[in-house]
Structure 1
Amino acid sequence: MNHSVRYGLILGALNVVFTAGVFLIDYKLIQNPLIGFLIFGITIAILFIAGFELRKKNGGYLSFKNALKSSFIIYAIAAVLVVMYNLLQYNVLTPEIAEELQKETLNQQVMVWESFGMSDEQIDESAAAMEDRNLFGLTWQLVGLAGNLFFGLIISLIVAAIVKKKEPEFD
């Protein structure tokens, strides 16, 4: 199996298992920023492990282009697996929890808008627009995936810059 695909599946499986475990403990923890940081930490660790392993397999050298390509493929596969998990979890298995989490997300967003000094009218308008969206539906999961892939590209650029090692031109 291709190095990047294998690590993408590993990262995706780790993220899904971790998220499902947190969900089973207390689904409200899913919105806790600490959980997001832990998942981010797992992601970064796997990207570096995979990058350094690929460099080792290539005789101790890895071009920036190949490091970037590998890292981004890993990230993208994992991100798609997480979206598939989210769609299954919140639309098939527990749609009632998705509604509750969406309400909590709206409440948190209203507090942010208030802290920015938005008027009650502006908040009501924005809240009404947000209530009409199913944040856990296919459309918004794909929108989130697009944003996540952009973020993944930035992370992959950083990882590639660190794990790359140029082969000497002359021996």
Structure 2
Amino acid sequence: MENQTNFKSIIINNGALLAGISIMLNLVMYAMGNHFEPHWSVGAISFIAFIVLIVLAIKKFKQNNGGFLSFGEAVKIGVGIAIFSALLGAIYNFVFMNFIEPDFLAQVMELQEQKLLDQGMSEEQIEASMAMGQKFSSPLLMAAFGIIGSAIGGFIVSAIAGAVMKKSEEEQY
């Protein structure tokens, strides 16, 4: 039971921290007026924070578990952190798109249409592209894709970290 509590606290703490970093970056970009086209460094910082927080959480669990870690435990921690963080991020996005910036999606679609015009696409190509984009721009669908993508990313990072850090009791002897 102590092991289960350890999983939960590590997942919740690191997931909340990761979501907090992501939300703070988004709020800074919004305050600076760059929330439609953030600088590449914002993505890099988010990606690095994602990797570092998952790896540190796995390392902490291993230390708390007497130096032992299975591959499955590492994956459980990494995917748990990624999903919890994505859920908090989805809640933030809901609040942002409904209360802070209600016309955010419409503005994004306008910017996308202008980019397609600048690329020299025909009117019917632009209409087809915009219609497709409209189908995938519902907040619920965006949240689902975000959570699934985050879970896949968490699996990849934690699988690599788990493969490197795993140590079972049998390996000790």
Corresponding residue of 2:21? 14
Corresponding residue of 1:120? 122
Residues in 2 aligned to 1:152 and 1:103: alpha-carbon distance in whole angstroms: 33
Q: Per-residue displacement from partner, 1:30-87 (whole Å, max 9, x unpaired)?
A: 5433311210111111111111111111111211110110111011101111111111
Residues in 2 aligned to 1:94 and 1:26: alpha-carbon distance in whole angstroms: 12
Q: Compared with structure 1, are the counterparts of its residues 105 and 38 closer, same or farther at alpha carbon in structure 2 (3 Å cutoff)?
A: farther
**Letter paired with 2:10:** H
TM-score, normalised relative to structure 1: 0.79
Q: Secondary structure at the match of 1:61?
A: coil
Q: Compared with structure 1, are the counterparts of its residues 130 and 16 closer, same or farther at alpha carbon in structure 2 (3 Å cutoff)?
A: same
Contact 1:71 1:160 in 2 (8 A): no
1:137 aligns with 2:139: yes
Contact 2:71 2:166 in 1 (8 A): yes
Contact 1:71 1:159 in 2 (8 A): no
Q: Compared with structure 1, are the counterparts of its residues 107 and 150 closer, same or farther at alpha carbon in structure 2 (3 Å cutoff)?
A: farther
Alignment map for 1:3-152 (pairs within 5 Å): 3-28=10-35, 31-108=38-115, 110=116, 120=122, 123-130=125-132, 132-133=134-135, 135=137, 137-152=139-154
**Letter paired with 1:126:** A
- Gapped regions of structure 1 (runs ≥ 5): none
**Letter paired with 1:158:** I
Q: Compute the RMSD of aligned alpha carbons.
A: 2.8
Q: Secondary structure at the match of 1:135?
A: coil
Q: How many residues align?
A: 166
Contact 1:48 1:163 in 2 (8 A): no
**Letter paired with 2:100:** L
Residues in 2 aligned to 1:49 and 1:101: alpha-carbon distance in whole angstroms: 35
**Letter paired with 1:90:** M
Corresponding residue of 2:158? 156
Contact 1:68 1:157 in 2 (8 A): yes
Q: Compared with structure 1, are the counterparts of its residues 156 and 47 closer, same or farther at alpha carbon in structure 2 (3 Å cutoff)?
A: same
Q: Secondary structure at the match of 2:169?
A: coil
Q: Per-residue displacement from partner, 1:86-145 (whole Å, max 9, x unpaired)?
A: 11112221122332223324444x38xx69xxx737623432313534626222332333
Q: Compared with structure 1, are the counterparts of its residues 124 and 30 closer, same or farther at alpha carbon in structure 2 (3 Å cutoff)?
A: closer
Question: Percent sequence identity over matched residues?
Answer: 22
